[in-house]
Structures are given as C-alpha cells and as structure tokens.
Amino acid sequence: MAEDVFLKERYELALERIREIPDETKEEKDYFVQMALWMLKLDDYYKWLENPNRSEKSLKEWQALYDDFYRPMREDYEKSYANPEFACHIFGKDLGRLFSFLSSEIYRCLPQLVMRHMEAVVVLWELFLEIHTAFVYGAEEHMEPEAKDIQKMIYWSINDYSEEMVSWRIHQQQEPDFSPIKSIIMEADLSDLRYLYRFGEYISDSERKTAQHMNELSQEEIDKIAATFVDGYFRGFEMNRIPLENKKYVTVRGSIGFERVFRSAIVKFRERGLEPIFFPASTHILNRRQVAIGYQGKSVNPQFEFDHCKDKALYYDKALANQHLEALKKAYEECGQWIRANGGPACFETFGEEPFSPVIKEACYQLDDKQKKLEMEYANLQVGLTEQYMKSSEISFTIIAFPTPDIGVDYKEIFDEIVKVNTLDNDVYRDIQQKLVNALDQAEYVYVRGKHPNKTVMKVRLHPIKHPESETVFENCCADVNIPVGEVFTSPMLTGTEGLLHATGVYLNGIFFKDLQLRFTDGQIVGYSCGNDDDAAANHRLVRDYLLAGRESLPLGEFAIGTNTTAYAAAQKYKITDRLPILIVEKMGPHFAIGDTCYSRAEDHAVYNPDGKEIIARENEISARRKEEGFQAYFNCHTDITIPYDEIGEIFAVDRDENMISIIKDGRFVLNGTELLNGPLIKLNK
C-alpha cells in the first residue's frame, strides 16, 4: 500500500512538470509539446477511470476516445514521431531514432494504465522529463545534448528498472488473479459492446464485429466451440501420457471479441479441475516479443510494430542481458508454486487480416552482429532457466484458430466452415493417417516435387526402424494439441536431406513472404531468398532476421504430410488461403519446419501413436548434442512452411530396396486406403 502511495506521488510530480511544457513554447509541432499533450490526455482518462462517480460513455464516445489515443500509431503514422523515418527526417538519424523510440514507448502506455501497471508509466514519464530537461538546459547554455547522452539516459532507465518490469510480467503470466482480464470476461455484460474498451487495447471494427457475431450465436454453438478448444487441451495430456494430477492451472492466450467463448471455456476448464490464467500482451520494451503473446486484439498497425521490433538494439548489451536473466530467475522463484502447477498454454488464435508485407526502412534500429550473437546465447539460457521450473515433458498445450471479420464479406459463412473444419471426426482421420504412417515407416527417403509454379525438389531422409513391431517414425496427429486434424509428421535425419524448398507465397511470423526459396544440404539451409523487395540485400535481411531468427542457417526440424482436404477446399472456395494461419495451412499439404524438432527439450519422454507403437524419431543430429552441449543444441524457433496440394507434383517414399511407394500425385492422395481424403478436392473441382 505504501508503495502504491509512493508511485502515485511520483506520478503526480511528473505530471505537474509535464503540464508546464505546452506553455513553454508557442511551437505547436514541437516534439516535447506533442508528447506532453498526449500524456496529459491519457492522465485525464486515468482520472476518469479512477472516479467512482464518473458518467458513462456511449459506444461511439468510447470508439472516438480510443481512436484518438491510437491515431499516432495508425492514421497519422506517416507524420508521427513514432515513425522512425519521419523522426529521422526531422531530427537526423541519430536523434531521430531515439525520439521515435521514446514516442513509441509512450504511445503504448494506455494498456499499462488500464491494467494498473503504474510503475511502467511513471518510469517512462520520468525518463521523458529527464530528456526534456537536458534539452531545456542545453538550449540555455547553447550546448544541447548529443545523441549519445540521450542514449545513456534511456539505457540507465531500462537498466535501473529491469528487475521490476520483469517481475511484474512473470507475476502477470503466472499468478492466477493478477490480471483483471478474467474478471472482465466473467462479470461484464457481454451484450453491451462497451465492455471491449475495458482491456485498454485498440478496438477496431474487427473486434466489435467479432463480439457482435458471438452475441448472435446460440449458447449451444458457443459451448461447442469452447468444448472443442478445452477437449483438445486435455487430449494432449492423454495422447502423450502426461499426468495431470499435480496441475491446477492452464494459461489461456486469447483474442478480444471472443469473450462469450472464453466465458464458456473457463467454466469447462474449472469443471475438469483447472483454473484458467489470463494475461495481456506485453507493451514494455523488456518483455515484448516479435510475435505478441497474451490476451490481445489485432495489431494497432503492423508496420509500426515492425518498425520497432528491433528497438532493443538501442540498449542491448551483456550486462543488461545478465541482469534480465537474474531478474527472471528471481521472479520464477517468487512464482514457483504457480509455475510448477501450470499445465501449459491453451491458445485461441484468430486470422483473416490482409497479409502484411513490411516496408523495410533504413531508419529503424537493427541489432549488430555482437548483439545478435548475444541474443541467441541469452535465448538459450532463458529457455534453460524456464525448463528448470516448467519442464517440457510435464506440460502440454493446444492451439485453435477462428476467423475475424477482416476476412471479407463472407465472414459468417467462412466462420461456419472453420467450425466444421475444427470439429472433423478424429476417428476417421486417425484410421486413414495410420495407413500413411504404415507406408512411410517402410521408407528410407521421401521425395517431394512441386508442380508449376512451385519449384520444390526435396529429398528427406528418415530414421531407420529396428523393431517395426513396436516402433514407428511418423506421429499420427489428430485434433489435440494442434486443432484441426490432421497430419503425420516426423523429425527427419539431417544427413542426406537436401534440395530446394519453394513457397510461392506464405504468411510466417506475422510477415507475408513472396517467392520464398530455401536450399538445403545435409538438412541445413545453405542459401535463401525471397521476392518481397526489388533489392536482393533487403530480401536477404528480411529472411535472415524474421524467418531464420537472425541466423544464416537453420536445420530442417520436421517433415509432415497434412491431410485436411476439407480445410483446403474451404480455402479455395472462398479464396482465403493467404489469410489462413499456418496452424490450418500446415494441414493442407506437405510441410517442412525449420528450427528445432517437434519434440524439442522433451526428446527423452517416450511418445506413442494410438496403435501403441513408440515414435522413435524425436531428435536429429543437432538436438542429439544436448547431452554434451545442453541448451546450446537448440535454436528456440520452429517455423512451418507448407506447399498446398495444387502445387504438388508428387510425393513418394523409397524403401531400402529402392521400391517406390506413391503417396500423392498431381495433388491427389493415391496410397491405397487414403482415397477418401480426395472427396473435398473432387467436390471442389465439380
């Protein structure tokens, strides 16, 4: 309580000084004046929220208020100081990038205030005033601060409060009732769309129309969606033979607008003994990730997010990396009782927005080689630390995805199609996929050849089976951890795996890659390119930094054959393939994953298919080094790249006697017993 009072005192002291800034200059476009006016507007909103006798706003008033707060990141972005290109044009590159960084952090403060993370706001307000004061006194002395002086101020602000920011985030993720999100879901009048603004996130037409559509569905339809989501989570534990006795919590990652579904899911999780935990996506620089994680709405502006996704280059060094790791360790200790009792995440994702192809700007921060190496080393250490508290072999997960109105005028029809796709009969697919597994288990290699315009020619080497009566190479995967059905997948051998993987267009890690080409030798990427930009060097950087996690190479961690021709037919019917998430797209043809295997960090935990056979292909030559190299044997990424059925010339397996077993030819399943999968494709063509 005393700490809260102290924070409020600091907040009021900062505001007292911020209120004076607009009166100190008549230049309306002055950087500090613009930012101060925005901060004062936010304070007005905060005071209104804190007032128990406040008058209520109409839905239109809420919409106008939030549109105004987020305008510098959206409609006015081209002329906003949050845009590095514009800021550098005004102030020059060195100062411009610093001012742009500061603006972007300030403009993200609305959710912090709404979620009552007062310290994050106070620290940023104080940093703003420190920088403003340096310029005021500098101007008086005719010695304005240089960029290096401002950078030091930012560095030490982040350094001084890193422990507090990290601790808050871990408590937010692990402590059952730390975040108010669950209370909003359970207690709000969901028929009154004004509740959407209680999360502090930008609310677009997408979230409003999604919530409206949820209100139009019957309770039976809502419960069916929630049951599919919840049942998939528990099936993951059953299929992988992971005990649930000591688990008390499930972390739910969701999307704003689906609150009726989440209310039903909360009840169903509780009925089966797990208390859901909800937390927002992080807005603070220390805790943000390239792909946001948490309970959230659509991106306020993908280009804004992209422009600032490497801002850590401003401050990132070994001292801060070590300090961050120590802060994590301390926070994990504080939250240990909840972490050890957490069964893992249940992820409810959305899709439908137009594919984002970023504009690559020279004004944006980029990590240098030293920082990239440090980031990779730190990522391994962080995952290793997390593994100590939440072991991969003792948790499970599930992922499901539904469309939002961004997908177009056929939204309601597409939504119904995806409900159908997400609830296909597991038993039917399990039997068909077992025939694929039986055939592939005979193979030494699998060949995949594309069909024009796809140039793929890949040879994938499989693990040898010593005991065919009790061992298998491919997992028969239905709708459990990955919804919808279905696929069969394996971790291939690297030695002997080679060729060209070509995706004519694919949406990965929030970015649409055009004409993506990856060349493999012994399972390792040896060359890559894409066609997003006219500049080959810019394309090279885009693939390296946003697909290969900053590396020049990654191994092939997975090969799979997707069997969900129903999803493919729906995608073709409504012409939405480029709008679908990889979660669904990976089931619509063969796919290859670069990075770690599917069994990363759980290789020593035995996994079985429904027929009782143990899946032995749980590691490759790199992950096998874990016994000597520990977590240095991992890459902390796993990205699936799919070739759709209509771009497949053929897939065939080759056994040790060089006999060919045909699986797919000209986009159709030809293996005996799998012909039923062609039904949706034939119907589509008719």
110-151 pLDDT tens trace: 999 999 899 999 999 999 999 999 998 876 676 788 999 999
Taking alpha carbons only, the member of 144, 143, 77, 69 closest to residue 108 is: 69
CA angle 651, 657, 662 (to 5 degrees): 20
Q: Is the pLDDT of residue 27 over 70?
A: no
pLDDT on residue 28: 46
Residue 89, both tokens: 């044009």
Quick one: pLDDT band at residue 686, thresholds 50, 70, 90?
confident
Q: Which residue has the higher pLDDT, 392 or 307?
A: 307
Query: Region 301-329: what's the mean pLDDT?
Result: 95
Q: Which residues contact 583 (CB under 8 A, 6 or more apart)?
A: 349, 399, 400, 401, 482, 483
pLDDT on residue 685: 81
pLDDT on residue 248: 97
Mean pLDDT is lowest, of 26-40, 193-207, 396-410, 527-541, for: 26-40
pLDDT on residue 431: 96
Give the separation between CA 17 and CA 9, rounded to whole angstroms.
13
Query: Region 521-526: what's the mean pLDDT?
Result: 98
**Tens digits of per-residue pLDDT, 411-437?**
999 999 999 999 999 999 999 999 999
Question: To the nearest whole percent, how much of the chain has pLDDT over 70?
Answer: 98
Give me the long-range contacts of 505-509 (CB less than 8 A, separation at least 24): 505/355, 505/578, 506/582, 506/585, 506/641, 506/642, 507/355, 507/578, 507/579, 507/580, 507/581, 507/582, 507/585, 508/547, 508/582, 508/639, 508/641, 509/290, 509/291, 509/546, 509/547, 509/639
pLDDT on residue 269: 98
DSSP-assigned beta bridge partners for residue 342 = 249
Q: Is the pLDDT of residue 26 over 60?
A: no
- Give the length of the chain: 686
Centre a 10 Å sphere on the Cβ of residue 288 and count the other Cβ atoms it contains: 18
pLDDT on residue 420: 95
Q: Which residue has the higher pLDDT, 118 or 27?
A: 118
- Enter the DSSP assignment of 23: G
Give the separation between CA 447 and CA 654, rounded to whole angstroms.
8
Q: How far is CA 515 from the centre of its chain?
A: 23
Query: Region 52-68: what's the mean pLDDT?
Result: 94
Q: Is the pLDDT of residue 356 over 80?
A: yes
Taking alpha carbons only, the member of 136, 128, 91 closest to residue 107 is: 128
Q: Is the pLDDT of residue 536 over 60?
A: yes
Report residue 524: phi and psi, to 5°: -115, 140
Query: Region 36-61: what's the mean pLDDT?
Result: 94
Q: How far is CA 359 from the centre of its chain?
A: 20
Query: Region 586-614: what's the mean pLDDT?
Result: 93
Quick one: pLDDT band at residue 25, thresholds 50, 70, 90?
low
Q: Which residue has the tokens 């199609």?
A: 417
Query: Region 309-313: what's the mean pLDDT?
Result: 95
- Enter the DSSP assignment of 60: H
pLDDT on residue 240: 85
Q: Is the pLDDT of residue 317 over 50?
A: yes
Q: How is the chain split into domains, by residue range? A: 2-160, 172-399, 425-685
**Tens digits of per-residue pLDDT, 453-509?**
999 999 999 999 999 999 999 999 998 888 999 999 999 999 999 999 999 999 888
Give the separation between CA 247 and CA 346, rounded to whole angstroms.
14
Q: Is the pLDDT of residue 1 over 50?
A: no
Question: To the nearest whole percent, how much of the chain has pLDDT over 90?
Answer: 85
**Tens digits of per-residue pLDDT, 154-164?**
999 999 999 99
Q: Is the pLDDT of residue 180 over 50?
A: yes
